[in-house]
Amino acid sequence: MKSQALQELVKKIFGDEKTRIQFESNPESVLAQFNLTEQEKRAVLNTHAKLGLVTSDSQQLDVALDSPPWFTPTAK
């Protein structure tokens, strides 16, 4: 199911400069204003720890999305 609170959180962070600054310095204080589940909070915090705010293409984003191939095919 979709999470209204998660949508509202991201909209607020990306649409309001003051909230964005607060989130970047103290994400938990912003999360406390929204009715997120514990798993949603963890997802937000983990994403922030790994990637910060995802505002453009970056090597970090590519790494997060592109798992290394497990196999490399080569001809015998």
Q: Taking the CB of residue 1, how many other CB atoms lie within 10 A of it?
A: 3
Which 3 state secondary structure label does DSSP give 42?
helix
Interface pattern 27-56 for other proteins (x via CB under 8 A): ------------xx-xxx-xx---x-xxxx
Shortest distance, position 49 Cβ to other proteins, whole Å: 10
What are the Cα distances from residue 47, in Å, to 27, 39, 75? 11, 12, 39
Q: Is residue 68 at the binding interface for other proteins, with CB under 8 A as the rule?
A: yes
Binding residues for other proteins, total number by CB under 8 A: 37
From the list 15, 17, 25, 59, which residue makes contact with other proteins (rule: CB under 8 A)? 15
Q: With 0-12 CB in 10 A as exposed, 13-18 as middle and 19+ as buried, what is 14?
A: middle
The residues of the shown chain that bind other proteins, judged by CB under 8 A, are 1-2, 6-7, 10-11, 13-15, 39-40, 42-44, 46-47, 51, 53-57, 61-62, 64-76
